[in-house]
Structure formats: C-alpha cells, structure tokens
Structure 1
Amino acid sequence: MAAVTSLRGATMAMPPRIEIKNMTIHTADGEPIAGPVSGSLDSVDEVAKAFVDVAPKMPAAADGSAVRGRGVVRKPAGSYTCKMSDDSRSAEVHVYGAIGQDMWGDGVDSSEFVKTVDGLDVDQLTVHVNSPGGDAFAGIAMMNALRRQSAQVDVTVDGLAASAASYIAMGGDTLTMGRNSQLMIHDASGGCWGNAADMEKTADILSKLSDQVAGVYAEKAGGDAARWRDVMRAETWYTADEAVAAGLADSVDESRKPADDSPQDFDLRFFNYAGRRGAPAPVFPEPRAQVAVADSPAVPETNNSEREADMAFIEDVRARLGLSDADEAGILDTLEKLSKRREVPEGVALIDQVKLDELKASAERGAKALADLDAARREQIVDEAISKGKIPPARRDHWLAQMEVDEEGAVQVLDGLDEGTIPLSPIGYVGGVDESGDEADRIYAKAWGDPHAKETH
C-alpha cells in the first residue's frame, strides 16, 4: 500500500502503481498537444510530470490560462506572499487559496510557507487568511510554524478560514475575524484504494487526526476536546461574531469595510453547506459561549460594549426560558408560542395536576364522611319515632327510604304523628290455648289471657 497522501483536504491512499497506456492530452478542439504516454507510475504527480516531459509548449489564453485535458481551465490559483516592513522588524503574510499544492501547482505550498516563516527574524508577524482549506497535514505544518515563531503572531481571517485553513487561524497568538468573515470546522475526510483492511487503516488515521484537531480547538476556546469533536462531526460554520462567542476567535475587526458575506470565490461543493447562510446555527461547547448576532451590511454598526450587552441579554432570555442550547431562531419560536397561549379568564386559576388530584381525592373522602353522617342522622330520627310509638318497627326501612328522597317532608309527617299510637309491648297471649284440656281454662284464656296467670280465689 502506498503512503497516505492528500488532495484538496482529503486524505487519500493511492494504489501501489498507476498503469497508463497511450494517454494523450487534447485541446478543446480535439487537437493532441501532449502524449501519448504509457508506463507504470507511482503517483498522480508522476503522471503529470510525464506529460510535461513530452508536451510541447502549451498554448495560452488571453488571460494566461493554460490548456489542460480537453479544455481551457483557470491559471494556477492559491498562493502566499510575505512582505517585510521598512525597518525589517515586522512582516505581513497573506495565505490566499487552497492549502497544499495539487499536480497543476494550484494552492499554497506549505513547505515554502514553513521555510519562509521559520526564516523570519521579526518582532511582529501578521498573517491574513482567506482559504477554503485543503491538505490537512499541510495545514497542521503551517500552524506549527506560526506557533514556533518567537514574534508576536496575529492572524486575521479576511474572508474564509475553513477546514485546514482554520488550523492556521489557530496558530497565532491572537485571531481577529474580519467583518462578515467566516470560520468552518469539520472532521477530516478522505478516500482509500484497497481492501477492507486498507480502508479501516485509513479510517483510523482520519479519526485520530480529527481528535488531534479537536484538541487544538479546545486549547484555543476551552472546553473538552470530545465536545469539540462532536461540533466538527456536524460541520459547523461560524460568522465573525459567532466565532468570537465560541471562543475560537478573540475579536472582530470593525475598522474595515465589510465584504460580501458569501464566500463565492471558492468551490464549496465538497462541504455539506456552502457557507454560513445555508448551515444550521452553530453549537457552543463551552457554557461561557454566547449567541452572537450575525453580521449583515444592512445592520448599523455597533461597538463591542453594545454587542456584549446584546449577547448578555440574549443569554439571559435563554436562561429564563430554559433553552440553554437554543439559537436565536429557537428563542423567537418559543416566544411566539408563548404569546399565542390563551389568556386565563378572570376568576379562573391554573393549578398543578398533582395538586388537583390530591384535592379531588380529599373531596371524595369528605363527601363519603358527610354521607355517612347524613345516614346516621336519618336513622336516629326514624329510630326515635319507633321508640315513641309513632311508627311500627316493621316500617323502619320504608321510612329510611322516604327520608333519603325527601327528608324534610318525612320529618314533618313523623312530627305530626301522635306518640303511643303503636303499642310498645304485646297485648294478650294466644299461646297454649289449644293445649288446654279444661273448657274453663280455654274460655278464660280466650277472654283474659294465659290461664296459668289467672288469680286463685
């Protein structure tokens, strides 16, 4: 398996050999201008060099573009420049374009950049970045070169610092975001040519690389590297203010005229989102990070103290609503829902469901106790009427039922009955009549009662 190389930010494992046969480069009109080339080569770069060796001088367009493949493409893009001050005590470097050169010479040559930075003997170094990223390892090498510099290193993102370019942004002692500039961080990505074991090895390399980069962001902004890795997995875009709020940048440069907030100079099709406008709101791993107000040329300029006050207010609103991770859109949505809630009518009170259930249970117990007391009172009234001889005992259940239907009416009837109407003790005795054999006894018993109770004269 060949060593892992990279292409436009994608870590890539090349096959052991590239076999080509009779490969020819044509103009847009179909005229051959280079080749044919055949052979077994080790890399894509060797393929390009093979054509250079056999190609005549290629025609050029009016703008200096070279003819490549089957058409005209742009001239080599991406470079860095270094400008020294008059007293040679400070230097200014511009890193514009993709990080790492491809086979056509496009992109920033990281090895030349590192040599230049290492050779500077200055007190102040200012680095301007406008790059969509590129070779991850090249970006790390450039970041480390800035960190090794003994000078004060101040990095400014002029337009975009995405992917590997964000590593370079982390290499300075300070990081300033230009107005309407953007920062993007994501997981390292790449491809592999080989079997499952080769792909697993490449995946392991990518994962370890992403973990290391997450540590770089955590070192700059604070927080746990694992949480920053989660943010990277989501491919997170930051506006200038959001980058400051997240702790990745130190300030926003308000002194310069803002540029367009859409990074249209770069091909962003390799990313999930083509800039901050189309991306979800960023997540802030650190609790201290606050929601920042996005840049907009239409918004009046504010100073840092006003911006800090605005962000503090938004943070307070988030805390009061219990929306610790919500962005501005989420806060506004919640406020809108709250405003649509129905007003509670006068005389109506809201009560917690648990408390309501407790009150219901208590009321049920009280109602049962009251019913028991009412039943006992009615029984007492009926039993008292029986004891006074107003109604017979056999009619007790009837009067209890009547009391349940109309207690007041039943009481009035009972009160109107005379006492003693119903005998309280038995009158006469009929037992033993048929058993008496004496006619007198039978007559006596029928007339006067039990013959055994008659008086003896």
Structure 2
Amino acid sequence: MTTKNAGRNRYWGNLTPPTSKTEFFDAITTPAPAGDGTVATIRMYGPIDSYGGWWGISASDVSDVLDALPDTVSQIVLRINSPGGEVFEAMSILNMFRAHSATVTAVVDGIAASAGSFLAVGCDETVMSPGTQMMIHSPLTWDYGNAADLRKTAEVLDSIEESIISIYRDKAGESAWGELLAAETWYTAAQAVTAGLADRVAVIQDAGETLTPGAPEEPDIDPLEGDGVEDRYAAARARLALRPVGAAAPTKPPSSSEPGNPTQKEALAMSDALKAGLSARLGVTDAAISDDDLLAAVDEALGEQTDTPAASAVIPAGTQLIEDTVLDTLRADAAAGREAREQQINDRRDAMIQNALSEGRITAASAPQFRAMLDADEDSATAVLASLAANTVPVAEIGHAAGEVSAEDALYAKYTGETEEA
C-alpha cells in the first residue's frame, strides 16, 4: 500500500492495463433469495488507484456505483481480487461502504493484499474463498528531501500504519500487528480465519449480468466488418465486455402464440429449388428421389469427406516426407554415429598425449592439462606439443645396474653365442 503514486504502469506492475473498465470493475443487482429486497454484487478485480479509469479503481468509481444502486438494496456482496494500492483511496472506499445502509460482505476471490486487505477486513463480514490469500504489510511511499523532510515522512508513515492497525484490531483484537506488518505477513484462507481477519471460508454464489453504472456503452461493431484485425478484435472485446458473469443465465426459448407445447402439424417438405441444387451437387440423376433418400446421400457424402485426409499444403521443392519409423531410425543412427565419432576423437587425442609422453616432450604431471587443451582447441594444442623439444623429459635408457642384462645385450648374445661374464 502506498501514499503516493509512482511507476509507469503504477499498480498494474508488468501487466498490460485493460482497455475497458468492465474488465476489472463492475456491479450487478439481482433479487435477494428471500425476495425482500435486493442484493447488489460489486466486483473489484484490480488495483486501487485515485486516477481511476484504466489505472485502477478509485473512490469516485465506487461512489458512482453506490449512487446508482436502487434504494431497495439491503445487502452488498463486495468481491475482491486486488493487489492493493493507495491507502487513502482504499480508506475512502471502505468508509463509503460503512456509511451505506446495506450490510456489506467482503468476499476475497483471489487476493486481498496491502490496502485491499484492510478494505476486506473492515466490512461487516469477511469471507475467504477456498485457495485465496491475504497479505498485510507496513505502508510505504516515495519521497525526496533533506533529513528533516524524510524524518517527517517517516512519522507520517507511522501514523498511517496506526490507522491501518486500528482496522485489523477492531476485527481480530490485539496482536503484534506492528511486527506482522513489518514482516509482510501472508495468510492462507484458513490462516486468515484463525488470525481473526476473516470470519469463514466459503464459496459465495453469484449470478446476473454485468452492469457498470455510469460507464459508456461499448460500440456495437460487427466482428465480420471493419478494415482489419484491430477492428474485429475491438468488436469481439466490445461483446465480451457485456458478458454474463457468475452463473450463466438460462437460455430462453422463443415464444409461441400457441398455448401449451406446440406440435408439428405436418412434415416439413424440402423446396424444389433446394432439392434440385442438392441433387446437382451430389450427382443424383433420379428426379423422383425422396427427401429422406436425398438427405441420406448428403450424409454419405459428408462422411466420405470426413474420411478423406485434408489437402496438404504444397510441399516446397527439395523437401521429402518420411514415415515416423524411418525418422526414428535415422535419428538413432545419427546418435550412434555421433557417439562413435566422439570416441574416435577422444582416442586420437589420448594417443597424441601418449606419444608426447613417450617422446619426452611433456611430463606425466602435465599430461592432464595438455589433454584439456586438446579438448578446448585441438589445432593450437597440437602446435604447442609439436614445438616442445623431444627427450626434454629423459625417456631413453642410459644404463642399467650391474649384474643386469639389458634386452639389447641379451639379443646380441643370442645371435653371436657369446655370454657376458660377470
């Protein structure tokens, strides 16, 4: 909840603001179940903002709705799904509901957060719909100035917080409200009831067609007319703005001047023009075909049309269609080939490192580093290995211990018949 306004989209956040007020705020009236008055349902499904319009729901918007309600209204069902908004605007709205002669039941349909929470809590009864949430936190603002200015702002925020706490306290009694607000506390529907901020968890039924008092009528545009997509979209949106909400109104059958249930006096006959046109399109040559047989031919043709695959789009040159099984085989072969290729590359690089070790170009300790270099950039690593001098790390035999016969001496003795004396 805030005391000043900021931000490009203000309380809509990253959401695209709606283009019609009825998308997030409207009111309906429907006869009370007992028949002794009228129940008014008001929906507040958006942020609370003094600008009104598509910025959000203002106190002026609510006052227009309340002024337009019939004098017979004895109960108001205030349905809330709001992230909150301006503190004083929400406080004004709450006090308008309190001043109205009707009892007000706040029903949280989604979330009652920030300023939306004390608006819901301050009504005569607060009902949490299943799965809903309530959030309370300390008021905040944006300000600038010197140290004295900011200290004064902090004092004002403390005063506003105390006013908000008084609403929670009147509903739920004493609690560590200051700590709960500072911590930004979230409540499930059941937790809100346990904390005393709500009276019960229930589904409150709703019915009727929307009516936003004082709202301009939407243009009556034919969705099939207009110059482009935007015109058709606007037309569809205009019709959606007049949507039924809650339980759908029952469909009313066309009226009949005949008392009781109307009965069909005679079988309907197909016109000659229609019959001739269908026969020509179906290729029926029997001019005396009955209406039933002709309709049967229509059903048969439609069935064949359904069984026939739809015409595919023209396949571009160079494109081939293959069966799923063939595609799966190709994918499997490609994966196997890729694995084999990767193994070949690993074997070659391992051999390069082994060769550098055997030639005395690198040490065993540095071998892992050179192997990683090959994986990162084989061409550069190969050039580095080739530039290292061979036998830098001695690998050739330079002697052997006394009494031991080298492999070369043993081979020499084998072919000359000489033996080395100790």
Q: Shared fold (TM-score greater than 0.5)?
A: no
TM bracket (short chain): 0.3 to 0.5
Decide which structure has greater strand share. Answer: 1
TM-score, normalized by length of structure 2?
0.42
